[in-house]
């Protein structure tokens, strides 16, 4: 007699993965910064990053060329990572006054079929040159290992 399962293993695993984003730094702090998850409402805060010509000079993977589409692509990628347990960028804010400094995070990347952890960071144009990228990046390996 065939026993009908009350649940589907794939659904259970999928729920565990999607409800528990991995490798995020939510709540982690440095001297000046605090990390939190990206929210859809952050879109307008992050759009000026793409409006600055220097921002995408070295981010060659962006297929889109106008800031609005680039920002949408960024959000899609981050939420895809959250939903698949592949890490993703966190918002990095100034812990004194909540200023939006930029984003940084751990991302699982597959290189030559081997999953590797990448440390990524990007800083708002007006916040560059203050050591924030270094400060955020230093927190990440220590948190992950
Ligand atoms: C690349 C990028 C992340 C660098 O951001 P950043 O915050 O300026 O980088 P750093 O943390 O290394 O800051 C170092 C600078 O801050 C200065 N600084 C000021 N206060 C500092 C402090 N308290 N501690 C350390 N450095 C400090 C340093 O002297 C240095 O100045 P310099 O660049 O004139 O030599 C930023 O330009 C960016 O977002 N670019 C576009 C996106 C991108 O390329 N991302 C990286 C690819 S993943």
Q: Tell whether pTM > 0.95.
A: no
Q: What is the whole-number distance in angstroms between the Cα of residue 130 and the centre of ligand 1?
A: 6
Domain membership flag for residue 123: yes
Pocket residues for ligand 1 (CB within 6 Å)?
A: 55, 58-59, 120-123, 128-134
Domain membership flag for residue 45: yes
Domain tally, the chain: 1
Question: The domain spanning residue 66 has which CATH number?
Answer: 3.40.630.30
Domain membership flag for residue 15: no
DSSP states along 62-129: ----SHHHHHHHHHHHHHHHHHTT-EEEEEEEETTT--EEEEEEEEEEEETTEEEEEEEEEE-GGGTT
Domain that holds residue 82: 34-144
Minimal-distance CA residue to ligand 1 atom 13: 131
Cα separation, 115 vs 9, in Å, equals: 24
pLDDT in tens, 20-59: 568 899 999 999 999 999 999 999 999 999 999 899 888 8
pLDDT in tens, 69-107: 999 999 999 999 999 989 999 999 999 999 999 999 999
């Amino acid at each position: 007699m065939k026993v009908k399962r009350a649940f589907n293993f794939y659904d259970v695993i999928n729920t565990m993965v999607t409800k528990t984003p991995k490798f995020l730094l939510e709540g982690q702090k440095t001297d000046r910064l605090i990390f939190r998850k990206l929210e859809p409402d952050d879109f307008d805060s992050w759009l000026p990053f793409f409006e600055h010509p220097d921002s995408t000079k070295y981010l060659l993977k962006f297929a889109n060329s106008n800031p609005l589409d680039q920002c949408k692509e960024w959000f899609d990628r981050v939420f895809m990572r959250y939903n698949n347990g592949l890490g993703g960028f966190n918002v990095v804010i100034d812990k004194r006054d909540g200023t939006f400094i930029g984003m940084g995070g751990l991302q699982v990347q597959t290189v030559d079929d081997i999953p590797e952890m990448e440390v990524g960071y990007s800083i708002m144009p007006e916040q560059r040159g203050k050591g924030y990228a270094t400060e955020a990046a230093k927190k990440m390996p220590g948190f992950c290992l």
